[in-house]
Structure 1
Amino acid sequence: MAVGRIIFLNGTSSSGKSSIAQELVDILDDGVFFHLAVDSFNAMRTKRNLAQEDLDVALRRTRLGFHRAIAAMAEVGNDVVVDHVLSEPWRLIDCLSVLPPDNVLFVGVRCPLDELARREQARGDRPSGLAALQYDLVHQHGDYDIECDTSAASPRDCAELIKEFLPRRPTPTAFARLRVRYLEDECRAPSR
């Protein structure tokens, strides 16, 4: 059984990842794609108030489970479009350790900060300033297979760009390059 393809969209909150993912699921015609969104996983958790420490632990476990759900879907041959916010370095490192790097097309979803703030306010369902807090963090690893700017292109245009690029993804992929940088360097580091 062939491992499924993973189109991994990374960007701040309100950058347009979910809109691009929905368009991709609609236009990709060479397989059956599933949209896996970290927000959907967060929405499944209990809604009662938790102490901040308990919430932090629950959110970390949620993300760890989300990464493994992506891997499990792909492992059994499903193609997936992932929409995620890699705003903490451990999230990227965990994804690099559990996802098959040669099957991941890593897409940077960018948008200028002023437009993110405008979108965030218009949405009204996100804490004000969330995108600004994530802005310098989500792309700090600096390596993608392809990038799109949602202030300059519609979600459909971004999806078309990604669709055209998918069969030509590079070797090694950005995930493979990042895996060498983050995981192999970690293995070579002297223990403390």
Structure 2
Amino acid sequence: MTSGRIVFLNGTSSSGKSSIARELLDILDDGVFFHLAVDGFNAMRTKRELDPGELDAALRRTRMGFHRSIAAMADAGNDLVVDHVLSEPWRLLDCLAVLRPENVLFVGVHCPPQELARREKARGDRPSGLAEHQFDLVHTHGDYDVECDTSTARPRECAQRIKEALAHAPRPTAFSRLRERHLPELSGATGAVGEGRPTPP
């Protein structure tokens, strides 16, 4: 079975990832793509209030489960558009460990702080300052296959650029380069689910 392709969108909250994902599902016409968003996994959690320690543990398990769900869907042959916020270093390391790096098109979704704050206020469904807190964290790894700025390009334009990049995916991919840099012990591994990869710290 051929593993599916993964368009992996990374950016802060309110940066425009979900809007780009919707446009991608509309214009990607060479396969059947599914949009997997970390917010969707968060929304499935019980609504009862959790103390800080319990919440942190639940969120970590949620992220780890999300990453493995991405891998399982792709390994079953599904093409995916993933919407994530890599605001903690271990999240990227875990993704590098569990996903097939050669199948991932890594997309940096950028937006300046002032516009993020405006969008956050307009949405009214995010804690104030969340995007600002994430701003200096999500792109620290410094390596992408393609990047876009949603303050200067509309979601459709960003999606079109990503579609073109997907058709001419670079080799090695950004995920392959990052895995070589951060997880050299896994270099050359395919990254399929269930191969006994290490759990991140």
- Could you state the TM-score of these two structures normalised by the residue count of structure 1? 0.96
Taking the aligned partners of 1:186 and 1:35, their CA distance within structure 2 comes to 27
Name the amino acid aligned to 2:73: M
Spell out, residue by residue over 1:139-170, the C-alpha distance to the aligned partner (whole angstroms, 9 max, x if none): 00000000000000011110011011111111
Describe the superposition over 1:74-119 as per-residue Cα deviations: whole angstroms up to 9, x where unpaired.
0010000000000000000000000000000000000000000000
Aligned partners of 1:35, 1:156: CA distance in 2, in Å? 16
Counterpart Cα distance in 1 of 2:43 and 2:116: 22
Identify the residue that residue 157 of structure 2 maps to in structure 1: 157
1:60 aligns to 2:60 (yes or no): yes
Three-state SS of the structure 2 residue aligned to 1:9 is strand
Structure 2 distance, partners of 1:186, 1:128, is 39
> Would you say how many aligned residue pairs link Structure 1 and Structure 2?
187
2:26 corresponding residue in structure 1:
26
Deviation at 1:19, TM superposition (A): 0.4
The amino acid of 2:178's aligned partner reads L
Query: Kindly, what percent of the aligned residue pairs are identical?
Result: 75
Provide the residue aligned with 2:45 in structure 1: 45
2:122 pairs with 1:122: yes
Residue 71 (structure 1) shift: 0.1
Matched, 1:145 2:136: no
Q: Which runs of 5+ in 2 are unaligned?
A: 188-201
Q: Give RMSD over aligned pairs.
A: 1.2
> Post-superposition shift, 1:40?
0.1
Correspondences of 1:181-192 after superposition (within 5 Å): 181-184=181-184
Report the AA paired with residue 77 of structure 1: G
Which AA in structure 2 matches 1:58? A
Aligned to 1:94: 94
SS of the aligned residue for 1:172 comes to coil
Contact 2:4/2:77, CA 8 A, preserved across alignment: yes
Structure 1 ranges of 4+ moved more than 6 A: none
Q: For residues 102 and 138 of structure 2, what CA distance do their matches in structure 1 show?
A: 21
Amino acid at match of 2:18: S
Match of 1:107, as an amino acid?
V
Instruction: Kindly state the Cα deviation for residue 186 of structure 1 after the two structures are TM-superposed.
Output: 9.5
Instruction: Name the structure 1 match of 2:167.
Output: 167
Q: d(CA) in 2 for partners of 1:180 and 1:148?
A: 25
Cα distance between partner residues in 2 of 1:134 and 1:56? 16
Paired with 1:61 and 1:81, the residues of 2 have a C-alpha distance of 21
Query: CA 1:98 to 1:186, structure 2 compared with 1: closer, same or farther past 3 Å?
Result: closer
In structure 2, give the amino acid aligned to 1:131: A
| Cα shift at 1:185 | 7.2
2:180–2:186 Cα contact (<8 Å) kept: no
Deviation string, structure 1 residues 8-30 (Cα, Å, up to 9, x no partner):
00000000000000110111000
